[in-house]
Structure 1
């Protein structure tokens, strides 16, 4: 089994330690050091790899490369690409009838005002590509929107003229990070914060969460929609709609999940990977 990484964090080290305890041979592969021929058929490769790169591009492209060698990657390149693109993820979820926040997309700075008219204030603008709660903007009024548009107009990147706008969900001071491994939901946490952004990377505090049948079902449906095997799914408690899926993470961090629940998630994922190879 391969462990693809670019930075050896707590999560990657936990996989290495868990593999030793389980008697599984795991080979860490530093992705920035890779150089190989695409589609090579005579390479002596492992059957399966865990994708753990922090860089989206390292994760996506190394997964594609490994797949060209016949390696089964958890998660696969198509899942990584879908989850990186919030619009793509939301589109797939919505088409399958999975509850999501009311979401509008506008394809120019001018049409962003139309999204505001449809959603009403306040609402949230998110980058289509992004993680760790970065570059989110809570738009309380027209002046906030004008300021964000003005900033985006001076960023020389075409994607800055595409606006992904969502309703502001008045959640109960928390969201839920649900972990899916295969077709199971082994563990989940609440992420609490006085701020509307509850990511633990932004200061949110974690606590164990109870996984009821409804929460389990929506998480598994979301995982199936993006073809995932090991995912962190962010779910909000909407005051009218109940559980709704906010985002899906294809290279999920789980240090805080293990810290507050004590659940051995690395062991669970490794056992799933071994069973996948056997099948």
Structure 2
């Protein structure tokens, strides 16, 4: 058994990582920090991994997935696992998983070329939203209101340096500018939900969106639990939008959620709940050793 049975993957320490590290330290947990920018998985590094529970908080989706896959290959237990990281790291993969699980989600089409993108936008109708396969904080997410804007955005996508970056999804715009909802689930437990109201049509807390507590809502709870289970995540945030008819739709599932706004609005100690999950894995391993 390793002296450090708990690990954390991170390269950038934000509010969430400070909270998690402080919680781990306050419990006297021995934590092995893995920075993807410095880990090459040399033999001496690999030797530390078997049996280790590792919380994956890497900010880069690509590095997070590579770390999860590698940790699993060498006998560690990443939270979330590689399968969930792979699905949540791609908005198209997330959409497919939600759709296959019967979870309501906005109409979404794939655009691997500008030509396909224009056809997708015309099929959905204006306004439509064009998103990259993977992004956070609303970056490179565009609200398309006419064909001129569509052509400009898709031409820009076509000039990006990799096939993955050039690929986009086209999604119906569900009441753009209206507040959306975010729920958080940890180990099958719904911790609550907040309402986010942005300063533009995107409701990202990182962009200055205001947050408030959502009153208990059975439908939101059910959709958050179902969406988290559909992608196979043990820790996740679920973003939802509400259509003009009042129907809730799951927009995204994030396997490495930010929770600063959530904690401030709800008073729920998300960091403690996540560490409960990870430390529980450590305790289970000790008991079985």
Taking structure 1 as reference, are residues 71 and 114 closer, same or farther at Cα in structure 2, changes over 3 Å only?
A: same
Matched residue, 1:22? 27
Q: How does 1:1-279 map to 2 (within 5 A)?
A: 1-37=6-42, 42-43=47-48, 45=50, 47-159=52-164, 161-170=166-175, 173-240=178-245, 242-277=247-282, 278=284
**Paired residue secondary structure (2:115):** coil
- Note the C-alpha offset of 1:162: 3.4
Check the 8 A contact 1:80/1:250 in 2, yes or no: yes
Aligned Cα root-mean-square deviation (Å): 2.2
Taking the aligned partners of 2:252 and 2:236, their CA distance within structure 1 comes to 10
SS at match of 2:232: coil
Change (3 A) 1:43 1:24: closer
Rounded to whole Å, the distance in 2 between the matches of 1:38 and 1:230 is: 30
Shift in alpha-carbon separation, 1:135–1:271, aligned structure 2, 3 A? same
Tell me the distance in 1 between the aligned counterparts of 2:46 and 2:139: 41
> Partner of 1:270: helix, strand, or coil?
helix
Alpha-carbon separation, structure 2, partners of 1:61 and 1:23: 29
In 1, Cα distance between equivalents of 2:194 and 2:232: 22
Please give the alpha-carbon distance, in whole angstroms, between the structure 1 residues aligned to 2:206 and 2:46. Answer: 41
Q: Report if aligned partners of 2:49, 2:71 keep a CA contact under 8 Å in 1.
A: no
Which deviates further from its counterpart, 258-267 or 25-34? 25-34
CA distance in 1, matches of 2:36, 2:120: 40
In structure 1, stretches of 5+ residues that fail to align are none
Q: 1:163 deviation in Å? A: 3.5
Q: Is the 8 A contact 2:133 2:165 kept in 1?
A: no
**More deviation in 187-196 or 216-225?**
187-196
* CA deviation map 1:187-233 (0-9, x unaligned): 32211124110011122112222342111111111111111010111
CA distance in 2, matches of 1:44, 1:203: 39
- Measured after TM superposition, the shift of residue 38 of structure 1 is 7.3
Alpha carbons of 1:16 and 1:156: their partners in 2 closer, same or farther (altered >3 Å)? closer
Secondary structure at the aligned position of 1:111 is classed as: helix
Whole-Å separation in 2 of the counterparts to 1:125 and 1:34:
35
Secondary structure of residue in 1 paired with 2:37 = helix
How far residue 44 of structure 1 moved from its aligned partner, in angstroms, is: 6.0
2:12 alignment partner, SS class? coil
Deviation at 1:257, TM superposition (A): 1.5
User: Residues 3 and 162 of structure 1: is their aligned pair in 2 closer, same or farther, counting only changes over 3 Å?
Assistant: closer
Structure 2: where are the runs of 5+ without partners?
Answer: 1-5
